[in-house]
Amino acid sequence: MVSPVKAFTPKYVDDQICSQVQCRLAVIAELAHGGILAKRESDPNTQIAPSELKVTVDTMKFNPVAFSIGGEKCICLSAESTLHRGRKEGSVLCIVATEKCLIASVTADRIPGDQLNLVVEKLGDYLRLSGY
């Protein structure tokens, strides 16, 4: 993997997440305030906002039953302090918080959730080990 210190670009999201699982959106944001470090939005009608990511970070502490990402409300299937998994119709969502950043990704329809979870959680582990 490429060092995250130098590489938080849209290509980083493409290489580390979207090349391994078909995603409608993927984002890496600063944990402190939701500032977007890298993102990919395959649908021009879906926009990820820093304010929305900040709300997601804040609500992760309270094990929500639903949350919003890219303007879409998702049902929370499982919640831990640094990991949330969710679903919206045929799409699956995985959100991982590390020490300094938030990784969130939503699959295209009918992509297996375990595939997304593996990719996003592995990236989260790598970023934690890298000090992020």
Q: Give pLDDT tens digits for 26-67.
A: 999 998 888 899 999 887 777 888 888 888 888 887 777 888
pTM, full prediction: 0.89
Residue 3 corresponds to which tokens in the numbers above?
């060092």
Contact 70, 25 (CB under 8 A): yes
End-to-end CA distance of the chain: 14
**Measured CA distances, 131 to 20, 88, 126 (Å):** 23, 32, 9
Show the domain range for 22.
4-129
Residue 1 corresponds to which tokens in the numbers above?
């993997």
Domain count, the chain: 1
Give the Cα-Cα-Cα angle 103, 126, 108 (nearest 5 degrees): 40
Instruction: Give the CATH number, domain containing residue 118.
Output: 3.30.450.30
